[in-house]
Chains A and B, each alone.
Chain A
Amino acid sequence: MDFKKLFAVIGTVYCACLVACTSQAPSDHSDEHIIGNPTSAVSSLSVQNGNEPQNLVMFDKTVRRIHQFDLSTMQHIRSFEVHNPKDDHYVVYNQNGNYVVDLSLKGLSIFNKYNQANNQPIHFEGKPQSVAFDPSNGYLIVYDDLMSVGILKLDPNGEVLKSWVGGAVVSGNESISAGDVNSAGQLILALSDNSMVVVDIEQTLTQQKWVFTKFATTLTDIRWMAPLTQNPQQVLIRSADKIVLMDIGAQSILSSYDITDDVIKMSKFNDPHVILRSGSTFKVVYAASSTVQVKTLYLKSGGFDADSIMNSNLDLTRDTWSFVDTTKNISSIFNNLDETRADRRFKRYRFSDLLATNNKQIPSQTQVELSTGYIFTLFPSELGYAVRYDMNSDDQLEAKLFNLNYIPAN
């Protein structure tokens, strides 16, 4: 008997069984290597300081318009008609400047507070895939699927002051592997040779070429990075086999954790964290006190209940960890509340001791945004219907018929 063949068959069957018997579908990592957040994970409510935002801006996929709501009163403020409405659109919003950046597969538009649109302020050949935004400094970085990087500097009213579009090769032959903008206005990039650069955005815009400081790392295949909210010099990095906390000022690794489990979610909302899973074991990896810390949870047997996590929000300041999970299979490794619109539950824990504090069903078929205190749901109503649920009570506030004046006559 050919034992080699027998072992090969048994091995194949065993591997197939391992995949098939896993309770959660493997995450899709093909959309890693981005700058900032993927467009599908961009939220107008992701404010840097974690405070409750005043306004919410959302692309309504039912009537293909952008709406702005006052989140506290649920008053409909304004609505924009978009270019190429049949394409999906994603919005970035500056709460202070009250301007809206509309990203779609065919470029971007900026609507200022006077509802004036600046269409295609920069030209891309590709389709925007990810975006990094520093509203306090007005820096907007757009990364497309052809690896072009668009850099814009916006004034507080959303007017474009400077812009430049560069290629992915930053230094020598090394191209961008991952990146993000920190709250200090620095564009931090990881390159294909596992080095890192800190880009001087202002000088780059002035000189219309990459201007940066480069340093080497011992990491391999840097796939994702997230500057810490409270300390912009510290960056949580996910490489091929580690999660590390890097100090870009000292150009050194402060702490690291070896990845032995599946990475199922990487979130920058509000404090950067990575969720790992192995069978019934969940691990939340995050940075605190200049070290990488890991909180391990045991699914159900320990009382923790989570299915496929669609969106994760760690707020160390408020000691909360919130997520939306679903019984449906999801594939995105990034936050995406629209991957499925069925059977979604919002859950919130006190992070320090994992006391469950909220557990709410999210209405089916709705587009959802989460803020610190609210769940905003936009129903697929052509006339317009949205409900804001208070996370800490059963209160809810509705907005109705806000599309009334935008229904086309023909």
Chain B
Amino acid sequence: MKILIPALIMNFSSLAVASTFVGNGGNVGDIELQVTVGEVQQTFSNVAHEKSDKDLQLCVCTPTFEGRPMCELLKKLNQEQVQYCARYVREKASDLALMLAEKNKVNYVWTHERIEVKEGDHLRGSDAVSDPKTMTITLNQDRYLSMSDIDREFLMTHELFHLTSNDGKLLTDEGDVGPFKGADGGRQFINAMASSVVMQTGRYDLFDSYRSVEHRSKSYKKIWVSGSYTIQGSPSDDSNAYSITQSTGPKIGLRYQFNDNWGIFSDYSLMTGDKSLLTSIKGTETRAVFTGGLAYRWFPFENPLTFAGQSHFIFTAGVDIMSGKYHLSDNYVSLDDSTSATGASVGCKYFIPFSGGLWGQAGIGYSTLRYRYDQLNLEYKNNGASLDLGVSYGF
């Protein structure tokens, strides 16, 4: 049986090293954990509803897992152990499915500390540990996130079986359990069941169905970089010939999320607008705008395992610092005018997840930048709106 040593328990009480799984998809590991829990819950549910044990083929190696260690583990079981294992999985499947489906029935806690369990008189490193008293499973987040989906499910299922009882006795890793004999008979039994559950998940194609969720970009990232193409409706002075009413250009951005909702951001855009007058006059305005401010993130949909559930809005409010240049020329002469201004801006962007950490984004903005080119007697005195389309990457 895995046991948390006292020092570790003390460490877990500190927020600095442990955090409770939130489950809304806005934190590290939320999606991966929910995917694993979802896979296990659905597998137990399917097993519970199977009419024939023959179809289930519990606790035996299935061809698709041939060659994997867990398959080798099952091949070593004798007939009695197979039957014992299958019976227990079949018996507990319904309860475990219900337990996992019920909200807050099982608590999940992340830690970045090394987990050690006491076995006999020595300590053994572990990736997770369960506490049946509090119905809590503690996971080493770094290790968990580095695992494959199969290994994660194996680990999760193993810990879930620790929360079950066999003849009124909690399952532990130590000692004999039925035909599983020896000092680590319990571990062999639980590992056999966990392996079998993993294979059932594979049989039901649940890995594939959840794999798209796994690959989908996840919103819990802290640092976001973005690149976009912006169309800015400039606040124009229609009476002036040189007024350029629309400019376009690239925008790059950086955002840091302090938590699920709040963050800070900065954008840098380089907008260019052109104008032709009469037959030969060309006007080009280039505006470099640096924007910095606060960002608020809002998830309009609840289920983080879905495409919509990962999508979110970012509302921003910031300060704009702009420097502008206006180049006017014809075939003989040219003029260069410059200006600078500060203003405020608000914006709203909608982020939709692609895969591999990439996101698509579309947004609107509104800026109060007002400025003037003295040589051209050109004044931009109204607020301007913008449209923005681009991609982001969170890491």
A384 contacts chain B at the CB level, 8 A cutoff: yes
B277 contacts chain A at the CB level, 8 A cutoff: yes
Complex alpha-carbon distance, A405 and B279, angstroms? 17
Residues of B within 8 A of A385 (CB): 332-333
Cβ A407 vs Cβ B241 within 8 A = yes
A211 contacts chain B at the CB level, 8 A cutoff: no
B236 CB to closest chain A CB (Å) equals: 10
Q: A407-B241, A409-B238 are in contact. Are A383 and B279 (CB under 8 A)?
A: no
A400 CB to closest chain B CB (Å) equals: 5
Chain B window 323-354, contacts with chain A (Cβ cutoff 8 Å), 1 for yes, 0 for no = 00000111111010000000000000000000
B201 contacts chain A at the CB level, 8 A cutoff: no
Residues of B within 8 A of A408 (CB): 241
B240 contacts chain A at the CB level, 8 A cutoff: yes
Number of A positions contacting B (CB below 8 A): 15
Cβ B239 vs Cβ A409 within 8 A = yes
Complex alpha-carbon distance, A404 and B375, angstroms? 9
Chain A window 367-394, contacts with chain B (Cβ cutoff 8 Å), 1 for yes, 0 for no = 0000000000001111111000000000
Complex alpha-carbon distance, A400 and B376, angstroms? 14
Chain B window 221-257, contacts with chain A (Cβ cutoff 8 Å), 1 for yes, 0 for no = 0000000000000000011111100000000000000
Cβ A382 vs Cβ B241 within 8 A = no
Complex alpha-carbon distance, A34 and B211, angstroms? 96
A401 contacts chain B at the CB level, 8 A cutoff: yes
Residues of A within 8 A of B377 (CB): 405
B15 contacts chain A at the CB level, 8 A cutoff: no
Cβ B278 vs Cβ A382 within 8 A = yes
Residues of A within 8 A of B328 (CB): 383
B280 contacts chain A at the CB level, 8 A cutoff: yes
Q: A400-B333, A404-B335, A404-B376 are in contact. Are A383 and B243 (CB under 8 A)?
A: no
Residue of B whose beta carbon sits closest to that of A406: B241
B3 contacts chain A at the CB level, 8 A cutoff: no
Q: A404-B376, A405-B377, A407-B277 are in contact. Are A383 and B335 (CB under 8 A)?
A: yes
Cβ A401 vs Cβ B240 within 8 A = no
B387 contacts chain A at the CB level, 8 A cutoff: no
B281 contacts chain A at the CB level, 8 A cutoff: yes
Complex alpha-carbon distance, A384 and B335, angstroms? 11
Complex alpha-carbon distance, A63 and B328, angstroms? 17
Chain A window 292-326, contacts with chain B (Cβ cutoff 8 Å), 1 for yes, 0 for no = 00000000000000000000000000000000000
Residue of A whose beta carbon sits closest to that of B331: A381
Residues of B within 8 A of A400 (CB): 333
Residue of B whose beta carbon sits closest to that of A399: B333
Q: Give B166-203 interface residues, CB cut-off 8 Å to A.
A: none
Residues of B within 8 A of A407 (CB): 241-242, 277-278, 281
Residues of A within 8 A of B333 (CB): 381, 383-385, 400-401
Complex alpha-carbon distance, A382 and B376, angstroms? 15
Residues of A within 8 A of B335 (CB): 383, 401, 404
Residues of A within 8 A of B279 (CB): 382
A381 touches which one: B238, B241, B243, B332 (CB < 8 A)? B332
B241 touches which one: A379, A380, A384, A409 (CB < 8 A)? A409
Complex alpha-carbon distance, A384 and B332, angstroms? 8
Residues of B within 8 A of A379 (CB): 332
Q: A382-B277, A382-B278, A382-B281 are in contact. Are A409 and B332 (CB under 8 A)?
A: no
Residue of A whose beta carbon sits closest to that of B240: A409
Complex alpha-carbon distance, A264 and B239, angstroms? 51
Q: Give A249-307 interface residues, CB cut-off 8 Å to B.
A: none
Cβ B243 vs Cβ A409 within 8 A = yes
Residues of A within 8 A of B277 (CB): 382, 407
Complex alpha-carbon distance, A383 and B327, angstroms? 12
A113 CB to closest chain B CB (Å) equals: 25
Chain A window 131-143, contacts with chain B (Cβ cutoff 8 Å), 1 for yes, 0 for no = 0000000000000
Interface hub of B240, B330, B377 (most chain A Cβ within 10 A): B330
Complex alpha-carbon distance, A7 and B280, angstroms? 59
Cβ A382 vs Cβ B330 within 8 A = yes
Complex alpha-carbon distance, A379 and B332, angstroms? 8
Complex alpha-carbon distance, A400 and B331, angstroms? 12
Q: A407-B278, A407-B281 are in contact. Are A383 and B329 (CB under 8 A)?
A: yes
Complex alpha-carbon distance, A115 and B240, angstroms? 23
B241 CB to closest chain A CB (Å) equals: 4
B273 CB to closest chain A CB (Å) equals: 16
Cβ A383 vs Cβ B332 within 8 A = yes
Cβ B330 vs Cβ A381 within 8 A = yes
Residue of A whose beta carbon sits closest to that of B277: A407
Chain B window 30-51, contacts with chain A (Cβ cutoff 8 Å), 1 for yes, 0 for no = 0000000000000000000000
Q: A404-B335, A407-B277 are in contact. Are A383 and B330 (CB under 8 A)?
A: yes
Complex alpha-carbon distance, A205 and B105, angstroms? 115
A222 CB to closest chain B CB (Å) equals: 45
Nearest 8 pairs of A and B residues by beta carbon: A381-B332, A385-B332, A407-B241, A409-B241, A385-B333, A382-B278, A383-B330, A400-B333
18 contacts between A and B (CB under 8 A): A380-B331, A381-B330, A381-B331, A382-B277, A382-B279, A382-B281, A383-B281, A383-B332, A385-B332, A401-B335, A404-B335, A404-B376, A407-B241, A407-B278, A407-B281, A408-B241, A409-B238, A409-B243
- Supply 18 further A-B pairs (C-beta < 8 A) apart from A381-B332, A382-B278, A401-B335: A63-B278, A380-B332, A381-B331, A381-B333, A382-B280, A382-B330, A383-B281, A383-B328, A383-B332, A384-B333, A385-B333, A400-B333, A404-B376, A405-B377, A407-B241, A408-B241, A409-B239, A409-B241
